[in-house]
Amino acid sequence: MVDAALPSRPLAGPEARVFATVGPELFAALRTARPERIVLQVPAGLVRNAHALTAQIRDAVTAPVVLATRPCFGACDFPSRDEAPRADVAVVLGHAPIPNVPLVRTTFFVEMREAGGDPERIAASIAAAPIPRRLGLVFSVQHLGLTGPLSAALAARGFDVRFGRGDRRLAYAAQALGCNYTSAEAVASEVEAFLFVGTGRFHPLGLAFAVDRPVWAIDPLQNRLEPPIDRAALIGRRLLAVAAARDARRWGILVSTFAGQNRTPTALALQGRARAHGRDAEMLLFDRLDPRDLEGRDLDAYVNTACPRIALDDGPNFPKPVLTPPEFLMALGERPLEPYRFDTYH
């Protein structure tokens, strides 16, 4: 269990508990909680194992366990009361809690920590590459255990390593969240490049939007180093979307009902800005956004206040331009195009 690393929750309400993996500590804590009914939610990558995990927890805890059909993208979209009305405890796999998101029931976050990855071997690979020595580190939650050992191994090879604490949406220092890279932003002025430690392209891409520094990435299990992402190309594509929406008269403002994706005050403020510029702006409420829900609407463009990655990663799937709030202000002429600002979800 890794409760000790979690800062105290600033919000009153149901409790968040944190576990490293699915195993005896989780089962013992669940038995102690004496749940009436558990709802289990898994990320898309674990759907194949979800039914076996459901049975495993049911057998170990001897309590009813229902599986949420909807996978989670983050700790922001756990099952609502309506999705699991009889469950008094949730088990959410693959994510750290987001400390400033209020929970609807006691929730056990299982971060699926990965014990693998040899810090000396990783540091040797990094030292052999043309990576600047003043280096910021950012980790996926699964690999946060490498923060100390990898920092030490890099320092021993002449690197000046930094990582930041970030804001209240991050549970841990050096943590990456797809909508919040404030742990990196906190040290960006002190480093020449960043290294993301984890798997996949999701976080390196988000980090490249958020910081004006080269972003390298290493898969710590395969010891595979990826060269920096072309930030200029990423931002160039977003500025094309801004240009395509600049003359939009009728805007849709996308607002999610998920607890950790709802930015109603931002949406209202954006609606005010649109109207101040003589544009129509209609709120559209949803939970998980499906591009098909936007088809056939008499709207010219959208600004998305839910997960920022919807616009950045999935924009081409939508029938009309979908901008982030900072991009929307660019389209209205209220913000300059440079420097590009990532839609950090605080």
Chain contacts with ligand SF4 (rule: CB under 6 A): 73-74, 76, 177-179, 260-261, 307, 309, 345
Q: How far apart are CA 142 and CA 124, in angstroms?
A: 21
Smallest gap from Cβ 274 to ligand SF4, in A, equals 23
Smallest gap from Cβ 73 to ligand SF4, in A, equals 4
Smallest gap from Cβ 72 to ligand SF4, in A, equals 8
Nearer to ligand SF4, 182 or 261 (CB): 261
Cis peptide before 97 (omega within 30 of 0): no
Smallest gap from Cβ 316 to ligand SF4, in A, equals 18
Smallest gap from Cβ 319 to ligand SF4, in A, equals 22
* Neighbour-count burial of 110, counting CB atoms closer than 10 A to its CB (0-12 exposed, 13-18 middle, 19+ buried): buried
Nearer to ligand SF4, 199 or 261 (CB): 261
SS (H, E, C) 15-41: CEEEECCCCHHHHHHHHHHCCCCEEEE
Q: Which of 93, 89, 131, 122 is nearest to 109 (CA)?
A: 93
Nearer to ligand SF4, 271 or 324 (CB): 324
Q: How far apart are CA 96 and CA 332, in angstroms?
A: 36
Nearer to ligand SF4, 289 or 301 (CB): 289
Nearer to ligand SF4, 2 or 76 (CB): 76
Q: How far apart are CA 273 and CA 256, in angstroms?
A: 20
Per the CB < 8 A criterion, the answer to whether 135 and 160 are in contact is: yes
Smallest gap from Cβ 242 to ligand SF4, in A, equals 21
Nearer to ligand SF4, 28 or 285 (CB): 285
Question: What ranges in 34-106 are assigned the alpha helix state H?
Answer: 47-61
